[in-house]
Amino acid sequence: MLFCLTTQELMERPDLWEAVHRLRYQIFVEEMGWEDLRRPDGFEVDQFDHDEAVHQIVIRGNEIAGYQRMLPTTRPHLLTEVLTDLSEGTPPSGPNIWELTRYAVASGFRDGRRGVSTVGTELIAGFVEWGLKRGVDKVIIEFEPMWVLRALQLHFLATPLGYQRTYGNQQVVATLLTFNEHTLEVVRSRRNHHAPVLARGYPDMFGQRRAS
């Protein structure tokens, strides 16, 4: 199940807030080595965790299995502020275009060594479902060029926004992905799972077992 929370809603749930920002720290600072984000408290937080950000969280059992953050392009976002050299010319923006950032699958939920895990595809199904519901049909993602192939396999229409660059030992390319109902169908049939993934409401309190 994938839960969508605003930053405000996330702050009202300290258990969840801590788990989200600790997972981000583990993956982006400790694993990927984004040293600019290193902090003594072990939480990864930046200026884009603002009141219009949407935090999408995949819960498995009583744990966070996956996470991504959606940012509106109608205000400053990573491509316009931080990763500016990934874009040739003015990046596209508008109410129907959001930026997907901090895509993360927790280490215990990466099924194979190489392929995309079921949590990974749930995140993809999640942002497509979420977007189609609220009139969003494009996302900007800064990802490894290899994801271009996967996006095309899932029938997204992909357009590069600039050339690929090397950051550390990682290659990154900013890409605009356009999607529609057909994309959602392809993603769902790839997953072999046709039920919606978006959950209503909030996850259970962490550390508390669900009454069964």
Buried b (16+ CB within 10 A) or exposed e, 11-46: eebeebbebbbebbbbbbbeeeebeeeeeeeebbeb
CB nearer other proteins, residue 72 or residue 126: 126
Query: Which of these, 170, 150, 210, lies nearest to 32 by C-alpha position?
Result: 170
- Measure the CA–CA gap between 103 and 139, rounded to whole angstroms: 13
- Measure the CA–CA gap between 25 and 2, rounded to whole angstroms: 20
Interactions with other proteins, residue window 118-177 (CB under 8 A): 121, 144-146, 148-155, 157-160, 162-165, 171, 173
Total residues contacting other proteins (rule CB under 8 A)?
A: 30
CB nearer other proteins, residue 13 or residue 190: 190
CB nearer other proteins, residue 74 or residue 153: 153
Least Å from the CB of residue 150 to other proteins: 5
CB nearer other proteins, residue 73 or residue 175: 175
- Measure the CA–CA gap between 158 and 149, rounded to whole angstroms: 9
Q: Where are the alpha helices (DSSP H) in 36-138?
A: 78-81, 118-133
Least Å from the CB of residue 145 to other proteins: 6
Least Å from the CB of residue 41 to other proteins: 32
Spatial contact of 121 and 191, defined as CB atoms under 8 Å apart: yes
CB nearer other proteins, residue 136 or residue 187: 187
- Measure the CA–CA gap between 194 and 164, rounded to whole angstroms: 34
Interactions with other proteins, residue window 81-100 (CB under 8 A): 88-89
Residue ranges that bind other proteins, judged by CB under 8 A? 88-89, 112-116, 121, 144-146, 148-155, 157-160, 162-165, 171, 173, 190
